[in-house]
Amino acid sequence: MGRKPIGIVIVDDSAIVREVFTAELGKERGIAVLGTAPDPYVARDKIVKLKPDVLLLDIEMPRMDGLTFLRKLMHYAPMPVIIVSSLTPKGGELALEAVESGALEVMCKPGGAFTVGEMSAALAQKIRAVAGVKVGRKEQPGERMLRRPVKLALSRTTNKVIALGASTGGTQALQEILAQFPRNAPGTVVVQHMPEHFTAAFAQRLNGLCAIEVREARQSDSVRPGVALIAPGNRHMVLRRSGARYYVDIKDGPTVSGQRPSVDILFKSVAKYAGANAVGAILTGMGSDGVAGLSEMREAGAHTIAQDAKSSVVFGMPAAAIDAGAAVEVLGLDRITAALLEHA
């Protein structure tokens, strides 16, 4: 009797990736593709039914990101896992986080000089190497430190988020910044203090001037490259995350710092769900709305910017942010766009 082939399950939201890996790895001697799954929820059922020897897991997927699933898997049903993702260049923070969470190997998807054939051959070697490795149970976040907050933001993701907050003078500042964004600029979320119904017209005007799409945000709009979402007047806008997808939640609620929409509300949600994947800038305006949120963004690892006094129409919000130590750097309006794009 021959040796039993190594059974694998492939988890990736791309049907093309699943098809290619199934075909390529199916050619490898001693490896059998038992099944595939488009997301962790389907994968959970496949793992229970098929009992694979090795799991190939992507990071950015709908409904639940791969790292969250990996942590759950290593807690309840530890097994050899190889991360296969476009987000994991050698030595990257995500690779370290995946390994710390229990993955045995990390590989990049084909790209550049790395062809599908070469990648499949190398992946087959890694599958053979990790098959049969005894993987111990990993504690879930919070078990060792019950008071430690659950981490909701991935260390690094493909899509970054730019968050902007402005008040008096902000319409001109935002126009100057967004008009310089290239068509593929990172997904952008904006709070500009404006009355209800005015924000739709403002967004429409900007849309006609910019290479990116600019529009008033709607409930559950995706935050994606090439799009800037303006918070509707008299409604708060918060960033959320589902798997690796960022989207916005439009909601009612009391005013914050006398404002609705509030920059603080947006920035705090960006700190919570995007963390170091975000860049934030507080622009010209009266008062202190956005200062607490920008501070939380900086603490979460985001790069934070405040507009300088010379280029601000009203040096209130930026001054308060600077005084609070919330801004990593203070820049004139003519330098903010370049800094946002550089750090995003």
Q: Which residues are catalytic?
A: 167, 193, 289
| Region label for 110, one of left (φ > 0), alpha (ψ between -120 and 50) or beta (otherwise) | beta
- Coil, strand or helix: which one is 87? coil
Contact 304, 269 (CB under 8 A): no
Q: What stretches of the chain show up as alpha helix (H) in DSSP?
A: 15-25, 40-50, 66-76, 93-100, 116-130, 170-178, 198-209, 263-273, 291-299, 317-323, 333-343
| Region label for 28, one of left (φ > 0), alpha (ψ between -120 and 50) or beta (otherwise) | beta
Residue 4 CA: distances (Å) to CA of 31, 32, 53, 134: 9, 9, 11, 18
Cβ neighbours around 22 below 10 Å, total? 14
